[in-house]
């Protein structure tokens, strides 16, 4: 039996680590690097990795990928954003007028824990997982507002760092950098 066809947005960012993590979580999965609407058309679900949200947002608009992602999410395609990916999925970015897909009913604050030099790891208890995951936070955002259909999955020191809305998942941290594929498996089961 063949596994799911999983897209990983490969416009910019740490997409290779997500590809590796998906293959570990589901060896039968076919993983596709997504850069264009044509790439996206062939996948069943998609991950937007970390990176630089302003740049990626501009490139997604230029390649037509932004509108294609919005359309596919409206049709029910599961979508997961890690760090920058969650920023791009958000309805609003506090204090900034920047492009977002606007599909996840949350507000986010960029770089909520500080600059690159303030990066850290911490155990994060997460709803749906038996044991905490290691949260790798690199210039990470936090969720400052959740809509009525958004479920909070994890917090760190009282700040929201993982959410779920229907078939969408957003995490402030980077599970793909840990070797622990449980969050990837959670996404693949959505």
As for how many domains the chain has, the answer is 1
Q: What is the pLDDT of residue 181?
A: 95
Asked if residue 32 lies in contact with residue 42, where contact means CB atoms within 8 angstroms, the answer is: yes
Domain that holds residue 105: 5-189
Domain CATH number, residue 146: 3.40.50.880
Residue ranges in the chain assigned as alpha helix (H): 15-25, 37-41, 53-63, 65-74, 84-89, 182-189
Q: What is the pLDDT of residue 82?
A: 96
Residue 107 carries which DSSP code?
E
Q: What is the pLDDT of residue 120?
A: 95
* Residue 176 appears among annotated catalytic residues: yes
> Does the pTM of the predicted model rise above 0.85?
yes
Cβ atoms within 10 Å of 42's Cβ, excluding its own: 11
Q: Which residue is catalytic, options 18, 46, 176, 184? A: 176
Asked if residue 151 lies in contact with residue 165, where contact means CB atoms within 8 angstroms, the answer is: yes
Q: What is the pLDDT of residue 114?
A: 82
CA distance 105 to 121: 27
The two three-digit tokens of residue 108, written as one number: 């986010």
* Residue 46 appears among annotated catalytic residues: no
Q: Which residue is catalytic, options 52, 174, 184, 189? A: 174
Low-confidence ranges of the chain (pLDDT < 70): 1
Q: What is the pLDDT of residue 13?
A: 72
Q: Which residue is catalytic, options 18, 46, 83, 184? A: 83
* Residue 83 appears among annotated catalytic residues: yes
């Amino acid at each position: 039996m063949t596994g799911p066809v999983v897209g990983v947005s490969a416009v910019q960012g740490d997409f290779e680590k997500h590809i590796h993590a998906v293959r570990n979580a589901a060896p039968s999965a076919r993983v596709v690097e997504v850069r264009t609407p044509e790439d996206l058309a062939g996948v069943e679900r998609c991950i937007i990795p970390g990176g630089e949200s302003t740049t990626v947002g501009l490139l997604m608009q230029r390649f037509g990928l932004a509108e294609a992602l919005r359309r596919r999410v409206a049709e029910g395609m599961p979508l997961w954003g890690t760090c920058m990916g969650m920023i791009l999925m958000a309805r609003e970015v506090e204090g900034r007028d920047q492009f977002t897909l606007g599909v996840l009913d949350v507000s986010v604050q960029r770089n909520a824990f500080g600059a690159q030099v303030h990066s850290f790891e911490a155990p994060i208890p997460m709803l749906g997982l038996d044991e905490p995951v290691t949260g790798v936070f690199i210039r990470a955002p936090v969720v400052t507002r959740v809509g009525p259909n958004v479920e909070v999955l994890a917090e760190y020191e009282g700040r929201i760092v993982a959410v779920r809305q229907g078939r969408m998942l957003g995490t402030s941290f980077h599970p793909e950098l840990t070797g622990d594929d449980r969050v990837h498996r959670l996404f693949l089961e959505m």
